[in-house]
């Protein structure tokens, strides 16, 4: 699904910052992967590149068989819209739109008819148990609810891959567990490919594969099939 | 962008989210358009009001009058008084073929007119039918003086509006009725409703006009005339023939042809030209002020949109991240700008048109509009086009900034 080969990225500035120093990574369809690292390790940059939000300087990146290199803004927007679902740490819902309108937005940009996208958005909200909250604005929702709305928005375009950037960063431990369970369920039941970027080992522990990144280099990739390997085991507290 | 109700709802939403700011921003444009349209209408109305004063008065008229000579000539000393006579009319007609009409005027002084027990103090004027080419009468009843009246010295007269109202209090057609002026009875043949400001020998409303020949006889004025009004044929520049007119009259009366005060001449052409130039200047000023204000308003819109875009960096970043192309963002921001300026501009035009309509209604007499303040339909359309163009232009810079927002910025702006 994702093939990264020798990705390099340098932020130009007064003092050029070499953030990614030759990242090679393969993520197959249906995998549930976390990218772990301390802040400044380059994991967010990597996620931005994976999400076609940022360019890389050298190397190659192939997403679902499509080479991602030097795309026009229009093409990039189209790929983001169709292939990738984003989940952000700060939810990034649009505050003056209701939950259902937020979920509809990606379809609006796809040009889906008004009626159809409303119906689909309601379907996804229902799936995440938020049907009753459809007409509420983000500031009337709890953190967990907001993140679930964001997940519904990420799912509605039926993307190839879900990219989650610190999805539990702004949540308390209880809702963090709920959100991770939700992602896990999506992975297991729908076979969704999910990449989570985090610095919390508890969150990483919920995933099946943990990619450790440090100073722009992939350190170690561990298979994590039994989720009680860490002190924050199953049903445990993540924080 | 596709037609979608949500596109419009989104624009309305963002504009109404910050009502007072949108209102204040729009007010700049509103005021600009209002100023432009109101000033245009007002300027045009003023011009028309002024021109109403000259209504029915030929704009290429030369008036001649006799006064004491200021130059000695052929043995005559200066300071001699002289009078023009009817022959001068014939001389002018013969020797200055560029003239279309030459009308002599004889003016009476201090007369009183009676009808029944009503009386009034008119100004008496004797003239020829040719006068109609210089001052166009507005005949409400009857007719003007004709050639037969002049030839046969018929005792007929045309009365002005005010005289009519004062003598015939009960109204109705006065034609055929006899009024007494001083010691003679005259039959009324017409009522002239002209009330323009410029007229020869006093206001047209309070005038009684009779055939020149009759007046000469009735008031013992011999063959003399007080004033000669002449109007040129179309395309003739009056200032070029005034000297020849003066020479013609001066030679006949043994006056130095260069005596500009002895043979007084007044060329209305120059006056009208000046007025028309003044209004040209006023018009330029109006456009300058109006468009300037409008431009300032549009720049205000652009500025505020700039701030709005900066404020909405995160939101735009999110939109980009979930699949909005730069073009979609561009069209959204420009549409917002257009809607804001258009709504403000249209209300400005509407408000100005309303004010002008009120002015026009205040200037209506007997259901006839005296002065047209209202701007034309195409002027309004033109203003609307200008406003929408400004809307697009005002949206360009903010939209360019919005387009440059990268999706990553949404996340960085946490």
Q: Are B131 and B163 within 8 A, CB to CB?
A: no
Does any domain span residue A113? yes
Mean pLDDT of chain B: 85
Min Cα distance B305 → chain A (Å) is 18
Q: What dihedral do alpha carbons B75, B79, B81, B85 form, nearest 10°?
A: 60
Residues of A in contact with B321 (CB under 8 A): 51, 53, 80, 86, 92
How high is the pLDDT of residue A227? 67
Q: Which of B6, B315, B321 sits opposite A86 (nearest CB)?
A: B321
ipTM: 0.85
Q: Does A74 sit within 8 Å of B327, measured CB to CB? A: yes
Min Cα distance A74 → chain B (Å) is 5
Residue A73 touches partner B, C-beta closer than 8 Å: yes
Provide the β-strand partners of residue A221. Answer: A211
Nearest to A148 by CA among A172, A119, A165, A124: A124
How high is the pLDDT of residue B352? 92
Residue A201 binned pLDDT confidence (cut-offs 50, 70, 90): confident
Q: Does B327 sit within 8 Å of A92, measured CB to CB? A: no
Residue B160 clears pLDDT 80, i.e. is over it: yes
**Mean pLDDT on B337-361:** 90
Does any domain span residue A35? yes
Angle at B364 between CA B360 and CA B369, to 5 degrees: 75
Does any domain span residue A156? yes
Instruction: Report pLDDT digits (tens) over A87-139.
Output: 888 888 888 888 999 999 898 888 888 889 899 999 999 988 888 988 999 99
Instruction: Report pLDDT digits (tens) over A45-77.
Output: 888 888 888 888 888 888 888 888 888 888 888
Q: Are A165 and A197 within 8 A, CB to CB?
A: yes
Provide the β-strand partners of residue A193. Answer: A161
Residue A82 touches partner B, C-beta closer than 8 Å: yes
Instruction: Report pLDDT digits (tens) over B378-389.
Output: 888 888 898 889
- What are the angstrom distances between the C-alpha of B137 and each of B127, B140, B179, B365? 13, 9, 20, 19
Q: Does B321 sit within 8 Å of A105, measured CB to CB? A: no
How high is the pLDDT of residue B201? 65
Min Cα distance A85 → chain B (Å) is 8
Q: Does A80 sit within 8 Å of B323, measured CB to CB? A: yes
Residues of A in contact with B414 (CB under 8 A): 89-90
Interface list for chain B against chain A, based on CB atoms closer than 8 Å: 2, 4-6, 13-14, 17, 314-315, 317-328, 406-408, 410-411, 414
Q: Does A90 sit within 8 Å of B323, measured CB to CB? A: no
Min Cα distance B322 → chain A (Å) is 5
Interface of A with B in 121-160 (CB under 8 A): 153, 157
| Residue B132 DSSP class | G
* CA nearest to A77 within chain B: B323
Q: Domain with A131 in it: what CATH number? A: 3.40.50.300
How high is the pLDDT of residue B197? 59
Distance CA A192, CA A19 (A): 29
User: Within 10 A of B78 (CB to CB), how many other CB atoms are there?
Assistant: 15
Mutation pick from B336, B411, B413, B414 vs chain A, by most beta carbons of A within 10 Å, is B411
Nearest to B75 by CA among B255, B264, B248, B251: B255
Instruction: Report pLDDT digits (tens) over B225-257.
Output: 888 888 888 888 888 888 888 888 888 888 888
Q: Are B202 and B116 within 8 A, CB to CB?
A: no
Q: Are A174 and A1 within 8 A, CB to CB?
A: no
Q: Does B14 sit within 8 Å of A53, measured CB to CB? A: no
Instruction: Report pLDDT digits (tens) over B95-135.
Output: 888 888 888 888 887 788 888 888 888 888 888 888 888 88
Does any domain span residue A205? yes
Return the beta strands (E) in B251-344 as ranges.
263-267
Does any domain span residue A61? no
* CA nearest to B327 within chain A: A74
Q: Which of B6, B17, B406 sits opposite A108 (nearest CB)?
A: B6
Question: How many domains does chain A contain in total?
Answer: 1
Distance CA B121, CA B119 (A): 7
Residue A96 touches partner B, C-beta closer than 8 Å: yes
Q: Are B265 and B246 within 8 A, CB to CB?
A: yes
Residues of A in contact with B407 (CB under 8 A): 53, 80
What residues contact A130, with CB distance under 8 A and at least 6 apart? Answer: A99, A145, A148, A149, A152
Residue A234 binned pLDDT confidence (cut-offs 50, 70, 90): very low
Q: Compute the half-sphere exposure of residue B31: CA atoms within 13 Å on the CB side of its CA.
A: 15
Q: Does A74 sit within 8 Å of B319, measured CB to CB? A: no
Does any domain span residue A228? no
Q: Does B14 sit within 8 Å of A77, measured CB to CB? A: no
Min Cα distance B23 → chain A (Å) is 19
Distance CA B232, CA B236 (A): 6
Burial class (CB in 10 A: 0-12, 13-18, 19+), B19: exposed
Q: Does B2 sit within 8 Å of A73, measured CB to CB? A: no
| CA-based R_g, chain A, Å | 18
Q: Are A99 and A153 within 8 A, CB to CB?
A: no
Is residue A8 helix, strand or coil? strand
Q: What dihedral do alpha carbons B380, B384, B387, B393 form, nearest 10°?
A: -140
Nearest to A72 by CA among B325, B42, B145: B325
Q: Does A94 sit within 8 Å of B315, measured CB to CB? A: yes
Instruction: Report pLDDT digits (tens) over B339-349.
Output: 888 899 999 99
Nearest to A145 by CA among A104, A189, A105, A98: A98
- Record the tokens describing residue B406, joined without a space: 């990268």
Does any domain span residue A5? no
Residue A48 touches partner B, C-beta closer than 8 Å: yes
> Locate tokens 């080992």: which residue?
A201
How high is the pLDDT of residue B1? 45
Residue A237 clears pLDDT 60, i.e. is over it: no
Does any domain span residue A21? no
How high is the pLDDT of residue B182? 85
Residues of B in contact with A153 (CB under 8 A): 322
How high is the pLDDT of residue B366? 67
Nearest to A166 by CA among A77, A80, A82, A43: A43
Provide the β-strand partners of residue B248. Answer: none
| Residue B373 DSSP class | -
What residues contact A118, with CB distance under 8 A and at least 6 apart? Answer: A100, A104
Nearest to A114 by CA among B7, B16, B1: B7
E strand or H helix at A78 = helix A73-83
Residues of A in contact with B323 (CB under 8 A): 77-78, 80-82, 106, 109-110, 157
Min Cα distance B336 → chain A (Å) is 16
Is residue B124 helix, strand or coil? strand
Interface A:B, Cβ pairs < 8 A: 72
Distance CA A133, CA B304 (A): 34
Q: Does the predicted TM-score (pTM) go above 0.95?
A: no
Angle at A8 between CA A6 and CA A10, to 5 degrees: 175
Q: To the nearest 5 percent, what fractions of chain B are helix, strand and coil?
A: 55, 20, 30
| Structural domain harbouring A86 | 28-55+73-223
Return the beta strands (E) in chain A as ranges.
2-11, 17-27, 32-36, 58-63, 66-67, 84-87, 161-165, 193-198, 209-214, 217-223
Residues of A in contact with B327 (CB under 8 A): 74
Provide the β-strand partners of residue A170. Answer: none
């Amino acid at each position: 699904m994702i093939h990264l080969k020798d990705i390099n990225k340098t932020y130009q500035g007064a003092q050029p910052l070499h953030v990614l120093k030759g990242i090679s990574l393969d993520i197959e369809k249906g995998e549930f992967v976390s990218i772990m690292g301390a802040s400044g390790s380059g994991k967010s940059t990597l996620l931005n590149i994976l999400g076609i939000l940022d360019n890389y300087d050298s190397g190659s990146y192939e997403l679902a068989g499509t080479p991602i290199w030097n795309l026009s803004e229009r093409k990039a927007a189209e790929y983001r819209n169709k292939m990738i679902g984003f989940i952000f740490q700060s939810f990034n819902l649009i505050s003056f739109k209701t939950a259902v309108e937020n979920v509809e937005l990606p379809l609006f940009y796809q040009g889906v008819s008004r009626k159809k996208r409303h119906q689909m958005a309601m379907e996804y909200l229902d799936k995440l148990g938020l049907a009753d909250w459809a007409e509420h604005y983000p500031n009337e929702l709890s953190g967990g609810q907001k993140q679930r709305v964001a997940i519904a928005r990420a799912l509605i375009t039926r993307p190839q891959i879900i990219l989650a950037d610190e999805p539990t960063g702004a949540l308390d431990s209880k809702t963090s567990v709920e959100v991770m369970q939700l992602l896990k369920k999506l992975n297991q039941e729908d076979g969704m490919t999910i990449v989570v970027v985090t610095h919390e080992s508890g969150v990483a522990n919920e995933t099946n594969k943990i990619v450790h990144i440090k100073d722009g280099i992939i350190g170690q990739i561990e298979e994590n099939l039994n989720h009680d390997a860490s002190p924050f085991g199953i049903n445990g507290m993540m924080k | 962008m596709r037609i979608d109700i949500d596109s419009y709802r989104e624009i309305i939403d963002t504009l109404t989210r910050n009502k007072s700011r949108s209102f204040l921003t729009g007010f700049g444009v509103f005021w600009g358009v209002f100023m432009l349209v109101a000033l245009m209408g007002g300027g045009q109305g003023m011009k028309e009001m002024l021109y109403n004063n000259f209504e029915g008065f030929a704009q290429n008229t030369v008036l001649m009058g006799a006064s004491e000579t200021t130059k000695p000539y052929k043995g005559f000393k200066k300071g001699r008084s002289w009078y023009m006579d009817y022959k001068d009319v014939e001389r002018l007609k013969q020797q200055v073929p560029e003239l279309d009409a030459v009308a002599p005027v004889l003016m009476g002084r201090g007369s009183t007119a009676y009808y029944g027990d009503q009386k009034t103090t008119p100004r008496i004027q004797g003239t020829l039918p040719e006068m109609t080419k210089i001052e166009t009468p507005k005949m409400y009843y009857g007719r003007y003086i004709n050639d037969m009246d002049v030839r046969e010295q018929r005792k007929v007269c045309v009365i002005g509006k005010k005289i009519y109202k004062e003598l015939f209090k009960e109204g109705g057609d006065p034609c055929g009725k006899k009024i007494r002026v001083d010691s003679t009875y005259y039959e009324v043949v017409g009522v002239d409703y002209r009330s323009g400001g410029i007229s020869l020998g006093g206001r047209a409303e309070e005038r009684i006009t009779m055939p020149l020949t009759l007046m000469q006889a009735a008031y013992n004025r011999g063959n003399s005339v007080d004033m000669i009004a002449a109007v040129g044929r179309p395309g003739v520049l009056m200032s070029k023939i005034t000297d020849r007119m003066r020479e013609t009259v001066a030679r006949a009366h043994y006056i130095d042809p260069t005596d500009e005060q002895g043979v007084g001449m007044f060329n209305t052409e120059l006056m009208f030209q000046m007025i028309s130039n003044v209004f040209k200047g006023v018009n330029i000023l109006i456009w300058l002020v109006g468009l300037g204000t409008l431009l300032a308003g549009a720049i205000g819109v652009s500025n505020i949109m700039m701030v709005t875009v900066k404020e909405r960096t995160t939101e735009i970043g999110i939109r980009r991240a979930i699949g909005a192309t730069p073009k979609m963002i561009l069209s959204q921001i420009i549409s917002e700008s257009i809607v804001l300026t258009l709504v403000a501009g249209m209300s400005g035009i509407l408000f100005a048109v309303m004010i002008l309509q009120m002015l026009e209604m205040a200037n209506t007499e007997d259901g006839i509009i005296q002065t047209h303040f209202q701007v034309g339909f195409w002027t309004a359309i033109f203003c609307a086009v200008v406003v929408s163009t400004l809307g697009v232009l005002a949206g360009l810079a903010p939209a360019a900034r919005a387009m440059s927002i990268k999706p990553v910025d949404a996340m960085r702006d946490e």
